[in-house]
Amino acid sequence: MAAFRRMLLYVACVVVMLSKMAAAAASLAKPNCQNWCGNVEIPYPFGTTENCYLNDNYFINCSNSQPLWGNHVVTNISIQGELEILMFIAIQCYQNSSAVPVVDHSFYLPYPTVTISNTKNKLVGIGCDTYASLSAYQNNEPYFLACSSTCQSLMNVVNGSCNFHGCCQIEIPTGLKNFTLEAGSNYNHTNVSKFNPCSSAFVAKKDEFKFSSDYLGKMPAPDINDTFPMVLDWVIGTYETCETARSKPDYVCGQNTSSCDNPPEGVDGYRCKCKEGYEGNPYLHDGCQDINECLQVPKPCHAKAKCTNTGGSFSCTCRKDYKGDGKMNGTGCSPKVSHFKNIIIALIAISIGLSALFVVGSSVYCGLKRKRLFKLKEKFFEQNGGFLLQQKLSNDRTSMEVAKIFSAEELEKATNNYDESRVLGQGSFGTVYRGILPDNNQVAIKKSKLCDQSQIEQFINEVIVLTQINHRNVVKLLGCCLETEVPLLVYECITNGTLSAHIHDKVLSSSLSWRKRLKIAADTAGALAYLHFSTSMPIIHRDVKPANILLDNNYTAKVSDFGTSRLVPLDQTQLTTLVKGTLGYLDPEYFHSSQLTEKSDVYSFGVVVAELLTGKKALSFDRPESDRSLAVIFSSAVKEDRLHQILEDHIVSDGNINEINKVAKLVMQCLCVRGEDRPNMKEVAMELEGLRSMDQKHQLGKVDLYTKEAECLVTPPAQYSFSINGVNNDDSSTSATMGYESMRNQDLKPLILNSGR
């Protein structure tokens, strides 16, 4: 739990760090300086007040809430080195063929730290007797650029076409700075002034200007300055390069997370940029902050990978059960095993986790919202489910020996890589292998069948049920392994096989004496009574049959296979469930009503004891239809007083016929059609224990349950003598399990898993 909390704290701190970073990234201005002017963000080296800008070249006059750079309105400043301003239009106008222009504006931009962006602008001239000129300096040498346009009348100008008829345009070379923009006329607009009095020249952002003949007729008011947006490239330093600037004291890209960047070819000066993986303002001390790639969209790591942010980079680590480099661009993560584990862990986490969540929830104090926490916790549960399960198993069940979480390798080694020779048994649930642990202890390892949802549920069910139980006649769960494609359960190894094998094998059954049989019946009854009455929540086994009763070398019975078991909350005496069980042992009342009670186990137990007495299978399709069910055979034999005909021959002797009759009567009571007529498991267990001790001490017991002679209907109703095709009951390991959905499924909330759908 401590580690878990530590992780949460760590996450909380990361979140705090991130929000700090976000705040830092939000401001590109110098600390305590105005970040915005109007709707233009002002990044350092630009600034609006003293000490906020690098030098006068980067001063932005914001006194009217409109950013002015010199006398140009600024519309955008990018940290990458672009400055967008509204540049005036140079204009020259003649009237009445006068010799002198009536309007003549030219513009001059002397700033040494900006050049005209050659990629984003063009030089445009408009007029019918016009040239547009740009006098500038390139590499400290004068540079002149001009285009001219003429037209005889408005007839030969084309809207949208700037082709030297009324309009001219020309690309701008790199590196022009300190420029003068002028509009001029070759013939003082003689002959054209009637329809075109003015020449105009401007540098315009490409695509911002579309020529129209309307421009030609315009005679602007003398005091109106028209503007066009233009883009300037700004740099630091004049006639410097990174190489020359680095050694100088005024070099600004000082921090190790920012680096010097030479601007495009032909532009002098230098720029700063954040190193890869960092963002922010490289001109500020500590301005470049690490980018948390892990928070980016789209995510850089595969959904099954853990993303770790590092300075300037990130790494992806596939989760435990996945392989690959984890990168979205790379190999991603592919499952080493199925999603099985996550599903199991999530489900177990839900069932055991609520209290853990509560504890953790109350101990987190970093001010995080509960909702976010919940999500985080879910994630951690998923990631560290094994750890949590281990804690649950070791902490919560103090009465139980500590169940262990085994590694896949351990169990592989123990079973000699699931060698065929190690198979102990096989059933609908999966396969049981014999394993030998490094300490030479034998274990039984149950490997469920491949990812079928119902198997997962049974598996979880079994883990949960078994962790509640500690009884000498219940097979002990030693641990489990969640690392493999299918979950593995590790049990104590019961070496002597199933009761079913002992009853139905000729050789084995001959050595199964009456005393042994009585002991097995009493053991089993004791285990069931324990399940019904002594656990914190009653457990109904639901599939009591000889195949699920294991014997050790002393013929001590161990009840196993809790795959279909149910925990019954104390305030509920019956549960409505999907009918599950094995034909022949299935309680007819439960079969018809779907009402699951402990008495269903009593019925099944009755059939088991009948099987012990007679050696006959509970259900055999080899027998005539009327005799298929052992319960029917047994009860009619007892009623017709011919029990001796069906008893296993070798168990009867003069000394025990009395006992056998008593047990047979007890069986009859267990087989009562109405559950309430049946004794409960505690009574049955006491009865059998009584008989056993009597058997040992040759004295009469006092418990006389069967003498009550409670009358009840024993023969199951005819409908129960179902005929199902294809049920193969010969193979004792395949149980003919059947189920149907109850039509009366009440809205009971079962404590654990619903075995139905």
Ligand X SMILES: *[C@@H]1O[C@H](CO)[C@@H](O)[C@H](O)[C@H]1NC(C)=O
Contact in structure between 644 and 651 (CB atoms under 8 Å) = no
Where would I find the beta strands (DSSP E) of 484-553?
A: 488-492, 539-540, 549-551
In a 3-state reduction of DSSP, which class is residue 177? strand
User: Which of 2, 99, 570, 718 forms a contact with ligand X (CB under 6 A)?
Assistant: 99
Q: Are strands 141-150 and 36-37 parallel, antiparallel or unpaired?
A: unpaired
Where would I find the beta strands (DSSP E) of 412-567?
A: 423-427, 430-436, 442-448, 477-481, 488-492, 539-540, 549-551, 557-559, 566-567
User: Which of 15, 35, 54, 112 forms a contact with ligand X (CB under 6 A)?
Assistant: 112
Choose one: 56-64, 390-398, 709-717, 721-729; the region binding ligand X (CB under 6 A).
56-64
Among the listed residues 233, 268, 290, 543, the single catalytic one is 543
User: Measured in Å, how far apart are the chain's first and last C-alpha atoms?
Assistant: 34
Contact flag: residue 257 with ligand X (CB under 6 A): yes
For residue 114, the minimal CB distance to ligand X (Å) is 11
Instruction: Take residue 450 and report the two structure tokens written for it.
Output: 């491949």
Binding residues for ATP: 447
When the beta carbons of 172 and 344 are compared against ligand X, the nearer one is: 172
For residue 432, the minimal CB distance to ligand X (Å) is 48
In a 3-state reduction of DSSP, which class is residue 667? helix
Site string for ligand X, 515-554 (x = CB under 6 A): ----------------------------------------
When the beta carbons of 294 and 551 are compared against ligand X, the nearer one is: 294
When the beta carbons of 188 and 351 are compared against ligand X, the nearer one is: 188
For residue 725, the minimal CB distance to ligand X (Å) is 57
Number of residues located near ligand X, criterion CB under 6 A: 34
Question: Measured at the alpha carbon of residue 485, what is the angle toward residues 483 and 491, in degrees to the nearest 5?
Answer: 65
Contact flag: residue 100 with ligand X (CB under 6 A): yes
Q: What share of the chain is helix, strand, coil (3-state, %, to 5)?
A: 30, 25, 45
For residue 210, the minimal CB distance to ligand X (Å) is 9
User: Which of 15, 21, 82, 394 forms a contact with ligand X (CB under 6 A)?
Assistant: 82
Instruction: Take residue 753 and report the two structure tokens written for it.
Output: 């898993």
Contact flag: residue 64 with ligand X (CB under 6 A): yes
Contact flag: residue 239 with ligand X (CB under 6 A): no
Contact flag: residue 188 with ligand X (CB under 6 A): yes
Choose one: 76-84, 374-382, 459-467, 669-677; the region binding ligand X (CB under 6 A).
76-84
When the beta carbons of 268 and 648 are compared against ligand X, the nearer one is: 268
* CA–CA distance, 404 with 437 (Å, rounded to integer): 13
For residue 256, the minimal CB distance to ligand X (Å) is 4
When the beta carbons of 43 and 675 are compared against ligand X, the nearer one is: 43
User: Which residues are 72's β-sheet partners?
Assistant: 69
Site string for ligand X, 195-234 (x = CB under 6 A): -----------------xxx--------x-x---------
For residue 95, the minimal CB distance to ligand X (Å) is 5
**Residue 226 burial (C-beta neighbours within 10 Å; 0-12, 13-18, 19+):** middle
C-alpha distances (whole Å) from 701 to each of 88, 421, 658, 696 are 118, 47, 13, 11
Q: What is the DSSP letter of 595?
A: E
Name the strand (E) or helix (H) holding 4.
helix 2-26
C-alpha distances (whole Å) from 433 to each of 7, 476, 495, 573 are 38, 15, 11, 37
For residue 12, the minimal CB distance to ligand X (Å) is 24
**Nearest alpha carbon to residue 236 among 194, 273, 182:** 273
313-352 residues in contact with ligand X (CB under 6 A) are 329
For residue 147, the minimal CB distance to ligand X (Å) is 19
- Specify the long-range contacts of residues 311-318, CB closer than 8 Å, at least 24 apart: 311/277, 312/257, 312/275, 312/276, 312/277, 312/278, 313/276, 313/277, 314/277
Choose one: 74-82, 497-505, 569-577, 717-725; the region binding ligand X (CB under 6 A).
74-82
User: Which of 32, 256, 362, 719 forms a contact with ligand X (CB under 6 A)?
Assistant: 256
Choose one: 95-103, 592-600, 622-630, 714-722; the region binding ligand X (CB under 6 A).
95-103
When the beta carbons of 229 and 526 are compared against ligand X, the nearer one is: 229
CA atoms within 13 A on the CB side of 629: 27
User: Which of 187, 239, 374, 722 forms a contact with ligand X (CB under 6 A)?
Assistant: 187
φ/ψ region of 497 (left if φ > 0, alpha if ψ in -120 to 50, else beta) reads left
**Nearest alpha carbon to residue 280 among 61, 35, 93, 39:** 35
User: Which of 19, 49, 55, 78 forms a contact with ligand X (CB under 6 A)?
Assistant: 78
For residue 266, the minimal CB distance to ligand X (Å) is 16
When the beta carbons of 159 and 510 are compared against ligand X, the nearer one is: 159
Q: Over the Cα atoms of the chain, what is R_g?
A: 46
User: Which of 18, 36, 137, 407 forms a contact with ligand X (CB under 6 A)?
Assistant: 137
User: Which of 14, 35, 36, 61 forms a contact with ligand X (CB under 6 A)?
Assistant: 61
When the beta carbons of 245 and 664 are compared against ligand X, the nearer one is: 245
Instruction: Take residue 365 and report the two structure tokens written for it.
Output: 């104090």
* CA–CA distance, 496 with 502 (Å, rounded to integer): 9
When the beta carbons of 139 and 395 are compared against ligand X, the nearer one is: 139
* CA–CA distance, 77 with 524 (Å, rounded to integer): 85
Choose one: 94-102, 244-252, 343-351, 495-503; the region binding ligand X (CB under 6 A).
94-102
Contact flag: residue 159 with ligand X (CB under 6 A): yes
**Nearest alpha carbon to residue 587 among 682, 705, 678:** 678
523 is catalytic: no
For residue 221, the minimal CB distance to ligand X (Å) is 9
Binding residues: 447
Q: Are strands 404-405 and 477-481 parallel, antiparallel or unpaired?
A: parallel
**Residue 465 burial (C-beta neighbours within 10 Å; 0-12, 13-18, 19+):** buried
When the beta carbons of 159 and 442 are compared against ligand X, the nearer one is: 159
User: Which of 51, 65, 96, 719 forms a contact with ligand X (CB under 6 A)?
Assistant: 96
Choose one: 91-99, 343-351, 492-500, 713-721; the region binding ligand X (CB under 6 A).
91-99
* CA–CA distance, 309 with 294 (Å, rounded to integer): 6
Instruction: Take residue 362 and report the two structure tokens written for it.
Output: 């109350």
- Contacting positions for ligand X (CB under 6 A): 61, 63-64, 68, 76, 78, 82, 88, 95-96, 99-100, 105, 110, 112, 137, 157, 159, 178, 180, 187-188, 190-191, 212-214, 223, 225, 256-257, 311-312, 329
Residues marked as catalytic: 543
